[in-house]
Chain A
Amino acid sequence: MGKTVAEKIFDVHLVDNPAGDMCVLGLDEVFCHEITTPVAINDLVRRGKDRVFDASRIKAVIDHVSPAKDSKTALQGKILRDWARRHNIENFFDIGRNGVCHALFPEHGFVRPGYTIIMGDSHTCTYGAFGAFAAGVGTTDLEVGILKGVCAFRRPGTIKIEITGSLPEGVYAKDVILSIIGRLGVSGATDRVIEFAGPVVEKMSMESRMTLCNMAVEAGGTSGICYPDMTTVDYLRPFIKDEFNTRREAMDYYSRFLPDQDAGYEKSLEIDVSALAPQVTYGYKPDNVTPVSEMEGTPVDQVYIGSCTNGRIEDLRVAADVLSGRRISDSLRGIVSPATPGAYRKAMEEGIIETFMDAGFCVANPTCGACLGMSCGVIAEGEVCASTTNRNFYGRMGKGGMVHLMSPATAAATAVAGHITNSSLYKDQNPE
């Protein structure tokens, strides 16, 4: 039987097979942020093992709370910063160069097809958009990754999801992944890799593929994976110019991480998205998903556009399109946080920041902040946030608050309307 993408990547990276289906893999990259890494660093120091396996393969960023909001978060940043300096970790993104990890690291070309990547962050699965095996891990796994450059995984089964048809107007990768999570359930892909394939994915930009893979973990998935193709090569082109003379050459090399025709899947699904409507979550679990029309009119206190799911330039463009020439409702406040300095700069150049400001949005700097209820837009008890993020857990954006997950288009339309609404309502209307 042929092999899946994950199986091919496992074969190339296998270091040890300690028992049964447990595989210890060599790691191409270990990514770090200031929330989960300091405890690993402190523990390594305590054990007298303050070493790194390869400083050039470690990347670090301060992103969750940036700039620091209090002494504790300042200390977390300091521990990471001091450690990066001590070990000559060149790719350390301090305040000013920093952005949300899963948007920032791909932008710098650190993610390549066939790579193995871990990070102490559950949405590490985002990088699968490039055909990498990328998994979120806990601090101990991260600690061992930093020290030894290895991580243990059970050989995962793969679920293949073929996305067919074509996306209707106003429907985006976020709506697709929400509907998939609704279908699989929050543990439907536990310990599994999800391969996203089919014509709809082939047409998607890298940004959209990242949105898709980002939420694989909300169905329990270890990693979401899209197949490397010319879109991937073109995105990576500036970073791989010295490695490959032509695009074709790069593609030929990356092709070895494509699945075999007869790969063994645990489950294969086909989803036709031609009739898919914009989706939104309604409860405290990401699989509580329903069409926006079902939630139409639900009052909202805050709209948040940003995060590793939907804070990229493409997302800002989509939201700005809806907001252009309009003002957000007086009944709510809007916050946008471009996920990276690169996205921020582009948004500025394209006049998108101006559109947001004219509409009455607060433009925050790149940070996770509100997404996990730590800073820059925490909501009050009993408040409701319409958000382009990926988690609606009880208390996620602030104790006692409710989060409705949605696409940037839906979030922008909701900001204008003052309640949850479909972006297509704004499509053909001229702004007043």
Chain B
Amino acid sequence: MRNFGGKALFLDRSDINTDEIIPAKYLTEVSKEALGPHLLEDLSLEGFDPKEDIKGKQVIVSRSNFGCGSSREHAPWALEVNGIHMVIAESFARIFRQNMFNCGMLAIELPSESIDRIFNEFLSPEASVYADLEKSVLKISGREGKEAEIAFLISEFDRALVEAGGWVEYADANY
């Protein structure tokens, strides 16, 4: 199974939609790689610089209703080709969440207190988050050796999709 985790990109806003994650004008691309440079290009978030801030990040931490709007799977692909395989948020739009697991990636929902805690205690360029899928815990580390573990829940089915490497393989094997 893929390892999930790495440096975290904090996007402190709710309702980040898929048009912001990857603008419609790039939907003319028929390869995932071509989406890479345009990730979060249109995100409206004070002080956010897509060019600089995405570099080296492997995890996104955000607020509620992440990935709402258009069904475009280009959104998770744009994350994937940038090496971001995990998004942690208070909640997700249904299609985006399903798309993540369908691609064998992780969309982890945490209660708002836990999200608040991650933002309050760990927001820094050094912060990193790793998912231990076996134990269902997130290991978070930040500045000056600060660490925390937060448990998470994913359904058996979502876990099976991640293990199978996505829905295509799973469905073709099972139906």
Binding site for B on A (CB under 8 A): 15-16, 18-20, 22, 24, 35-36, 38-39, 42-43, 47, 49, 64-65, 70, 72-73, 75-76, 79, 120-122, 124, 136-141, 143-144, 147-148, 150, 152, 186-187, 190-191, 220, 222, 284-285, 372-374, 391, 393-396, 399
Contact = CB atoms under 8 A, between A and B. Distances in A.
A143 B31 CA distance: 15
A54 to B, nearest CB: 13
A94 B173 CA distance: 34
Contacts of A372: 24, 27, 70
A20 B155 contact: yes
A190 B99 CA distance: 15
Contacts of A24: 175
Contacts of B71: 36, 120-122, 124, 136-138
Nearest to A42: B30
Contacts, number: 149
Contacts of B93: 187, 190, 220
Contact of A19 (B15, B98, B155, B166): B155
Interface in B27-56: 27-32, 42, 44
Interface string B155-175: 111001000001110011011
A42 B73 CA distance: 14
Interface of B: 15, 17, 19-20, 23-25, 27-32, 42, 44, 64-65, 68-74, 76, 91, 93-96, 98-99, 102-103, 155-157, 160, 166-168, 171-172, 174-175
A122 B95 CA distance: 8
A139 B73 contact: yes
Given A19-B156, A152-B167, A399-B42, A220 B30 contact: no
A394 B167 contact: no
Given A191-B94, A220-B94, A393-B20, A374 B25 contact: yes
Contact of B156 (A20, A35, A76, A136): A20
Contacts of B29: 72
5 contacts: A143-B168, A144-B172, A190-B93, A393-B19, A394-B19
Which of B20, B72, B93, B156: most chain A Cβ within 10 A? B72
B152 to A, nearest CB: 16
A295 B98 CA distance: 37
A393 B27 CA distance: 16
B69 A76 contact: no
Contacts of B69: 122, 391, 393
A38 B65 contact: no
Given A16-B175, A148-B172, A152-B157, A395 B91 contact: no
Contact of B73 (A22, A36, A222): A36
Given A43-B168, A49-B172, A140-B99, A20 B30 contact: no
Contact of B157 (A18, A47, A76, A143): A18
